[in-house]
Amino acid sequence: MSTAVTERRDTPPSAAGTPVLEVKDLVVRYGRGRKAAAAPAAVDHVSFSIAPGETVGLVGESGSGKSTIGKAILGLQKVSGGSITYQGRDITAANAAQRRALGGELRAVFQDPNSSLNPRNTIGASLGEPLRLRGVSATEARAKAEDMLERVGLPREAVDRYPSQFSGGQRQRISVARALICDPQLVVCDEAVSALDLSTQAQVLNLLADLRDERGLSYLFIAHDIAVVQFLAERVVVLYRGQVMETGPAVAVTGSPKHPFTQALVAASPVPRPAEQAARREAREALGVRTGAAAVPGSGGCPFRLRCPLATDLCATERPALRRVGASDVACHYA
Amino acid sequence: MALFITKRLLMALATVLVVAVLAFLLVHAMPGSPGAVSLGAGASQEAIDEVNQRMGWNDPLPTQFITWLGSAVQGDLGVSLIDGRSVSADLASRLPVTASLAAGATLLSAILGIALGVTAAVRGGFLDQVIGGFVGLLVALPAFWVGVLFVYLFAVQSSIFPATGYVPFEVSPQDWALSLALPVITLAVGGAAFIARQTRASMLEALQQEHIRTLRATATPTWKILYVHALRYASLPIVAGIALQFIGLFGGSVIAEQLFAMPGLGQAVQTSVSTHDAPAVQGVVVIATVVVVAVNLVLELATKFLDPKLRAS
Amino acid sequence: MIPTVSPASADADQAGSTTTADASVPGAGKAAPTRLSRHRLLGSPGAVAGLLWLVAVVAASLTAPLWLPFKTEDQDFTAVLSGPTPAHWLGTDELGRDILSRIFAAAAGTLGTSMLTVIVGVGIGTILAMAAAGGGERVEGVISRVTEIMMSLPGTVIILAVIGAVGTNIPMVMAILGILMSAGIYRVILGQAKSLQSQLYVDAAKVDGVGPLGISLRHVLPGLANTIVVQAALIFAVGMLIQAGLAFIGFGPPIPQPSWGGMIQGASQHVYDAPWMMVPTGAVLALTVLSANAIGNALGKAPNAAAPHLPSAASRRQRAKAVAAIAAAAPGGKEKDDAGIHSGAKGTLSVRNLSVGVDSAGAGNGVRLVTGVSFDVEQGTVLGLVGESGCGKTMTALSLLGLLPSGVSATGGQILWNGKNLAAATDKDMEAIRGRDIALISQEPMRALDPMFTVGYQLTATIRRLRGMGKADARVEALALLEKVGIVDAARILKTYPHQISGGMAQRVAIALALSGQPKLLVADEPTTALDVTVQAEILSLLRALVKDTGMSVVMVTHDLGVVADICDQVAVMYAGQVVENGKTQAILDNPRHPYTLALLAADPHANDGDAMPERLATISGQVPQPKDWPAGCRFAARCQFAGSACLEPVPLLPSGAGDGLVRCVKADQLAVEGMDWLATDLPSARALEVTPKGGTRELNTPLSGIVEKDLA
């Protein structure tokens, strides 16, 4: 196991054979009919892939489409264009039965620990549900649930308890246990730690990291907090208004961001060291990124141009394609 | 907004059409052919057949419906099987009675209900419990029982109001009001209780909104928070509740009209159903639907107008 | 006559809004729902009485042939229209028939056919609601249209037409009534079904590959159970009333057969000569309806409805009494004694020994939420109140404005502002301070603004009130304020409603609103938590500029140490209702003295540089204890890796030695000298078993008592 981990860290993800997940030109529009066609897409031609054992972080602000992408992959959101391929199988429009056939390889951990477990079911029933769907016997499911609870640091007796008897952090551990109980290949973590306090957030982040190293899991880690993404992800995709702005190794994207939006995002994330934060603040103000003017609906061009200090007329007419700048791919004419 | 109104108008039209079809089918399921009903007991089968043939009651149902609809659109709802009078004319004379009754009861319910509901929500504590108990009792009392009680109290024990009968407005506005008083109060008892509950719940919900705290944090006087901001927020569900109540009260007039011997639509539907007078039943169902749908439409538009989110879009 | 189904106040059981930051009011816990329903039913005396009455009526009517003194048709000509007599307990009717016998003979049919309405109506309503909630937009659209049409029908008239067609076939009529009523039931249930459908556990089940039907049956229907029972009880009552009403106007069961409505109709004919006849049947009918309603209402009551932000007049009176008690307890006018030098200085806020608790009259039984909190805020400075959820920081902040939620109040200590103790001030006194001296901005700007009024109205009304300006001046000032908070097109924003602007813009408007009274102190409760980081940075810059320009001071509640580093001059770290460390921001963040502060910093991924991101973050085992579980000693001891026996005694807040900083830890000096680091305490159990077996075993054997048992109340 440990060799697998080192291998993952050393080799560039694209070279690691068939990706676990490949998202190509994904487009998602909300609503239906003419209105939807006219509205800007929530996800606008987004492509990325996740190698076996790799963690990809999806960062962006509210309205960036990051959660929508996660939902599309999980089959919770209808896709308007493009394709999603899981281990070579096209799952773009898979129905419930086809998803069941995936055998629990593709799983999810959601944001709100208060609503991600059915309050009327015992923990055991919730954990056992995916197993029971695949024909595992009740006794076996219960035993597996107990093992899994133990693995995420909870007592085995918790199977007979209800979610209301646990704190938010504990419930999130249970959600992680539920996601991992069928030995998945890929787990989509949608803001999985955002609702947690610092100390519990750290517990769950560590747990996710440990489980990944133990089992060679891949994560799609969706979050608005770039520091949290940085902790877990090897590669980061930065989204703005449904489009990829920058993508590359986590260290490069967060350490020396190239796209003006990524720069603004990194600079705005405050650090708890007063002197350093004062310096960062000045640097951020010097960037010259303007206040949140609304994105441009419809038309081509760069969605960030109204806030961007580098924007020219070109940015209004031509959507910048992703191009290699340093270690990252950046969608900016002037990066 | 224009689109919204158009949509609603089409919905209203569809509602009336659906009811017309439904009423038509129901009426045709009534026992006894129209000819038999109109000629009364003792008529010969030949006579009955002749009448059915002559009046087109043997035609296929769709043909009959189209014919009926065609004349209904022109205001002709046919003639009664019992007395041969024009159904339209009969209902036109009855509509004002029921309309005054339902409108008066809705108005009284709204005034009493809002007052009680707001008081319960705003005062809280013991008064809230007292109002809650009182309202709970009113909801449970059958309207017809309350009506009889009122007759006993106000007409038998002390003859403040006339016990029965209806005086048209044109004859004497004062007597018109007096003749309506008992039936309106009777109907308003339950209606007021319903609106009081709705109002109390809506007010409490409004007071739980965070912007109420902002108002307090900016030293807004209590009366203004309650009667400008909270009541405004609560107004949407309250008006929707009043609209629902009007529908209920319009139907409730059947009982009030029976109890107080008022020549309204309710009485018409009751007698025509008892006598199997098909055209009359069908006419009254359609007219009642048109009135209810129209009033409902107006109140619904009012609700939407109260909501800035809908008004702006 | 068909009373509309009251849209019972939506059951708050499941419906969202669960992520309030400092929701530390006890009793907010949700227990297993079946237990809760039973609890609610048996907790209401009215519902218990109702249940007993219904059981009695059903039992009496089912056994009627065995005990009834008379047959329903027996006529006693010696006692026509009689009142209650030993022979006829409830009197007789115009034919001398025994009323008691007839009431109970009629009961079974009435109750049974009303149940038919319930089964048909609630059944169809529930199925439609689940189909609409699970079937997507289009299905919902169609079903909602159809039910809208059904709801705008004159139901009574249609029922009568049905009677015309099918005759007085009561079961049939009641079933059709059920169909007509299903539209209203659908509306009530739909909202909850949709909220259940949007729960994340439904998403999780969909990811598992559970089909739509499975989702509806396994995850939605059980959640609807309570609402369904509530609706059933209410519809049952309505059905009985309608059935009686129909019988009253002559569409009841065939003539000699007794029915409640028919009996009242008969009685109404004799209201002149035998008014008593109205009483027994009316009373039985009303009691039965009342019982069903009482059960429905008791079950339908939202378990822990949110507290109103403006308490009712009754609770305001109660609070006024509590405030008077504090005022009496505090040494009136002699605050200077223990407030020291600060209380005199104008524009300085001094909080001394403040405690906040749940009112003992309520369900919380006087649980303490904040104890012994003291801090100062100098003019023109920013104080950060930082800590995790449930540490009491929001309660502390709200108490500064006297805006604690209903049922929670300051129970002791002083909030000294310009020589006045605000903890003991009446609401009237506070009204003079709110907005003008101390202003508030909160976490969710959208919810902080009134959705029914334009930004312009809210701003100008506030300016006119707080500054005594005329309409025109207030408008000019509103424009100026909006520009001051960085809004470029102020004139346009004035005309908008809150839902038409973005979150960041709304927070700027909320700040403008807070500034309209030119306050000296701004209480900011997590003002940037709900915003994107880039917007957060802008709002923080704005606040910093405002502090500089206006000289106001700020109390900033936050859980984000980065925000503290960015804007705060002083910081008070709170844990479990206490201040554990207090001092200059730079001193505390760069050299934390309290283990909790140390741990928070170690657990914060933002504290780590991109390149030096550790493989594991430090964690704090366990969680913040519930207020009722606070120990007498150090409240952090149970989670502290440095804890020892000395920590079991109460720990005072003592000078930390670093500037004017204070720290509540007996080991603070020792830790400072030894320079210890907070270590990750949750080594992965697999690894821990190999490397440090002891730590690992402890993790595995975490006793179940560690699980938070929340209040069932």
Q: Per-residue pLDDT averaged across A220-229, rounded?
A: 94
User: Which residue's structure tokens are 């939407």?
Assistant: B304
pLDDT value, residue B311: 73
Q: Which of C22, C249, C277, C459 to mutate to test the interface with B (most CBs of B within 10 A)?
A: C249
pLDDT digits (tens, 9 = 90+) for C58-78: 898 888 878 877 877 778 778
Q: CB of C66 within 8 Å of any CB in chain A? A: no
Q: What pLDDT does residue B209 have?
A: 93
Do residues B101 and B256 make contact, with C-beta atoms less than 8 angstroms apart? yes
pLDDT of residue A170 exceeding 80: yes
Site from C9, C156, C246 to mutate, B interface, most B CB atoms within 10 angstroms: C156
pLDDT over 80 (residue C680): no
- Residue C358: its pLDDT value, please? 87
C616 at A interface, C-beta within 8 A: yes
**A198-215 helix and A168-180 helix, angle to the nearest 10 degrees:** 20
pLDDT: is C332 or B125 the higher one?
A: B125
pLDDT confidence bin for C22, thresholds 50/70/90: very low
Which ranges constitute the DSSP H helices of chain A? 2-10, 33-38, 66-74, 96-101, 123-133, 138-151, 168-180, 198-215, 226-232, 250-255, 260-268, 274-287, 313-317
User: Tell me, what's the pLDDT at C73?
Assistant: 77
Which residues lie across from A21 on neighbouring strands?
Answer: A50, A86
pLDDT band, very low/low/confident/very high, at C684 (cuts 50, 70, 90): very low
The domains of chain A are located at 118-175
- pLDDT band, residue C618 (cuts 50/70/90): confident
**H-state helical runs in C135-169:** 136-151, 155-166
Rounded average pLDDT over A299-314: 86
**Strand-pair partners of C643:** none
Strands C382-386 and C438-441: unpaired
State the Cα torsion B135-B139-B141-B145 to the nearest 10°. 110
Predicted local distance difference test score (pLDDT) of residue C612:
66
**pLDDT on residue C7:** 40
Question: Phi then psi for C676, rounded to 5 degrees?
Answer: -75, 150
pLDDT at C34 over 80: no
Write the burial class of residue B159 (CB in 10 Å: 0-12 exposed, 13-18 middle, 19+ buried).
exposed
Q: What per-residue confidence (pLDDT) applies to C333?
A: 45
Q: Residue A199 above 90 pLDDT?
A: no
The pLDDT, as a whole number, for residue C681 is 56
DSSP annotation of C626 reads P
pLDDT in tens, A10-34: 444 444 568 999 999 999 988 766 6
pLDDT value of position A10 = 40
Chain B positions in Cβ-Cβ contact with residue C160 (cut-off 8 Å): 254, 269-270, 273, 281
Q: Are C555 and C522 in contact (CB under 8 A)?
A: yes
Max avg pLDDT among A142-156, B55-69, C1-15: A142-156
pLDDT at C5 over 80: no
Which chain B residues contact residue C431 at CB under 8 A?
219, 221
**Pick from C148, C431, C452: CB nearest B233:** C452
Q: Supply the pLDDT for residue A295.
A: 52
* CA-to-CA separations, C100 to C71, C133, C260, C503, in angstroms, rounded: 10, 48, 11, 66
Indicate the pLDDT class of residue C11, thresholds 50, 70 and 90: very low
Q: Minimal CA–CA distance to B146: which of B190, B106, B98?
A: B190
Tens digit of each residue's pLDDT (9 = 90 or more) over C362-393: 555 678 899 999 999 999 999 999 998 889 99
Tens-place pLDDT, residues A89-136: 899 888 888 888 776 788 999 988 888 999 999 999 999 998 998 889
Task: List b or e across C276-314, with b for residues whose CB sees 16 or more CB atoms inside 10 angstroms.
Answer: bbbbbbbebbbbbbbbbbbbbbbbbbbbbebbbbbbbbb
Angle between helix C221-248 and C278-300 (nearest 10): 160
Structure confidence at residue A46 (pLDDT): 95
- Give residue C21's pLDDT: 33
Would you call C629 an interface residue with chain A, using a CB distance cutoff of 8 Å? no
Residue C94 confidence class, pLDDT cut points 50, 70, 90: confident
Query: How many beta carbons lie within 10 A of that of residue A37, not counting itself?
Result: 12
pLDDT recorded at residue C66:
82
Radius of gyration of chain A (CA): 21
For residue C710, is pLDDT > 60?
Answer: no
Nearest chain C CA: its distance from B46 CA (Å): 24
Determine, for residues B207 and C271 on separate chains, whether the beta-carbon distance falls below 8 Å.
Answer: no
Q: What tokens were used for B135?
A: 């309202």
φ, ψ at C578 (rounded to 5°): -125, 155
Phi, psi (deg, nearest 5) at residue C502: -75, 170
Higher pLDDT, B308 or B104: B104
With cut-offs at 50, 70 and 90, classify the pLDDT of residue C543: very high
Q: How many CB pairs under 8 A join A and C?
A: 252
How confident is the model at residue C331, as a pLDDT? 57
Grade residue C18 by pLDDT with cuts at 50, 70 and 90: very low
Confirm if C417 and C433 have CB atoms less than 8 A apart.
Answer: yes
On average, the pLDDT of chain B sits at 89
Contact between chains at C686 and A214 (C-beta distance less than 8 A): yes
- Residue B304 Cα to chain centre, angstroms: 21
Tokens of A104: 């629990």
Of C503, C504, C707, the CB nearest to A166: C707
Is C710 within 8 Å of A274 when comparing Cβ atoms? no
Mean pLDDT along residues C315-340: 66
Flag whether residue C514 sits within 8 Å of chain B, measured between CB atoms.
Answer: yes
Q: Rounded mean pLDDT of chain A?
A: 87
Question: What is the pLDDT confidence band of residue B299, given thresholds at 50, 70 and 90?
Answer: confident
Q: At residue A223, what are phi and psi to the nearest 5 degrees?
A: -160, 160
Sign, Cα dihedral of B280, B281, B283, B284: positive
Q: Using the beta-carbon criterion (under 8 Å), do B29 and C165 form an inter-chain contact?
A: yes
For residue C441, which of C507, C539, C494 has the smallest C-alpha distance? C507
Nearest by CB to C245, which of B225, B255, B308?
B255
C305 touches chain A (CB under 8 A): no
d(Cα B164, Cα B155) in Å, to the nearest integer? 9
- How far off is chain C from A18, nearest CA to CA, in Å? 23
pLDDT above 60 (res C117): yes
Q: Are strands A186-190 and A106-109 parallel, antiparallel or unpaired?
A: parallel
| Contact with chain A for residue C534, Cβ under 8 A | yes
Are C219 and A118 an interchain contact pair (Cβ–Cβ within 8 Å)? yes
Range scoring the smallest mean pLDDT among A34-38, B95-99, C353-357: A34-38
CA distance B210 to B1: 29
Q: Is the pLDDT of residue C337 over 60?
A: no
Phi, psi of C230, rounded to the nearest 5 degrees: -60, -50
How high is the pLDDT of residue C139? 93
- pLDDT value, residue C343: 47
pLDDT tens for residues A73-82?
Answer: 999 988 999 9
Helix axes B143-150, C278-300, angle to 10 degrees: 140
Name the residue with higher pLDDT: C44 or A2. C44
Taking an 8 Å cut-off on Cβ atoms, the answer to whether A112 and C19 are in contact is yes
Poorest-confidence range of B44-48, B268-272, C513-517? Answer: B44-48
Q: Could you tell me which of C512, C234, C187, C576 has the C-alpha nearest to residue C373?
A: C576
Structure tokens at C124: 């169809």
Residue B161 tokens, joined: 């109001």
pLDDT reading at C508 higher than 60: yes
User: Mean of the per-residue pLDDT values for chain C?
Assistant: 83
